[in-house]
């Protein structure tokens, strides 16, 4: 059984004016997502600026998300690291905090081999009992999980059950789906590929777009799941311009800016990320207005 089907939000981490985690606003965001159809909360992922959270903040954000969500939808905790030992520490803490599943990005900077990835993921998986979603995003980590590697992990490690595919390589994802033959669930990691990946058997999306447009994102995936393929295609194509604006600078700079523009107190991004350029901010405003998300 899939961890979730439909649209999970890769939720931002809001910060206060003095750069602390704004838990009150995070709680409001979680409620808003669930009220608007979001099928899972993914906490402390790339969009949540996990790389600049302290160990204490990372642990507390996961604990808070689990407690606040209170079983309404699954909570998936981002616990990946380029240190296998640190990923194990984060993962075991997330499991103890009640997370429903883990999202484990490929180890960045080290540039592990495929055999190294198998050892890395197997060791983490053996340290916990909850399900694991592999996260393949080579543009950010410099490492690509080959289809053969993902399938080997899914077939040989009981709790490795899914992969978030953000390679942008539809051919590779098609090969993965063919080799897997159902042994691993596939989630789109790119908002502009929800329908294409679901057409290959994907279960849904782990979404940045959902931060600003949860109902739209849910409806794209749910219409596909319900067999309303033309409506899913229509909504996917209508969202392309907004998605492009949300990725016109490195994620999560635009989506956090967008959240602030539409009335949330998301705060600033942490260095080394920096404020969005004025030209791109104006582009983003226009797309938010066109989508009916701001006046």
Active site positions, annotated: 135, 164
Cα 159 to Cα 169: distance, rounded to the nearest angstrom: 25
Bridging pattern class, strands 132-136 and 160-165: parallel
263: how many CB neighbours lie within 10 A of its CB? 9
User: On the CB side of 267, how many CA atoms lie within 13 Å of its CA?
Assistant: 21
**Residue 251: is the preceding peptide bond cis (ω within 30°)?**
no
Please, what is the end-to-end C-alpha distance for the chain in angstroms? 41
Give the dihedral of Cα atoms 212, 67, 27, 95; nearest 10 deg: -50
Helix, strand or coil for residue 202?
coil
What does the block give as tokens for 235? 């909504």
């Amino acid at each position: 059984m899939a961890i979730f089907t439909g649209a999970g939000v890769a939720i931002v981490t809001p910060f206060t004016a003095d750069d602390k985690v704004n838990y009150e606003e995070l709680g409001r965001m979680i409620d808003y997502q669930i009220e608007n159809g979001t099928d899972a909360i993914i906490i402390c992922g790339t969009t949540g600026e996990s790389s600049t959270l302290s160990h204490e903040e990372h642990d507390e954000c996961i604990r808070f998300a689990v407690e606040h969500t209170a079983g309404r939808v699954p909570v998936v905790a981002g616990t990946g690291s380029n240190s296998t030992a640190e990923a194990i520490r984060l993962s075991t803490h997330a499991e103890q905090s009640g997370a429903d599943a883990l999202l484990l990005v490929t180890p960045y900077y080290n540039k592990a081999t495929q055999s190294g990835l198998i050892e890395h993921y197997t060791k983490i998986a053996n340290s916990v009992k909850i399900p694991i979603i592999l996260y393949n995003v080579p543009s950010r980590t410099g490492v690509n999980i080959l289809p053969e590697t993902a399938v080997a992990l899914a077939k040989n490690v009981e709790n490795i059950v899914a992969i978030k595919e953000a390679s942008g390589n539809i051919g590779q994802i098609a090969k993965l789906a063919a080799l897997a033959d159902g042994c691993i669930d596939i989630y789109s990691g790119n908002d502009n590929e929800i329908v294409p990946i679901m057409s290959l058997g994907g279960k849904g999306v782990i979404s940045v777009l959902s931060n600003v447009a949860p109902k739209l994102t849910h409806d794209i995936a749910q219409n596909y799941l319900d067999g309303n393929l033309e409506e899913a295609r229509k909504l996917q194509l209508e969202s392309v311009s907004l998605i492009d604006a949300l990725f016109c600078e490195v994620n999560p700079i635009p989506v956090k800016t967008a959240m602030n523009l539409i009335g949330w107190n998301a705060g600033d991004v942490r260095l080394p990320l920096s404020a969005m350029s004025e030209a791109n901010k104006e582009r983003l405003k226009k797309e938010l207005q066109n989508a009916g998300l701001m006046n």
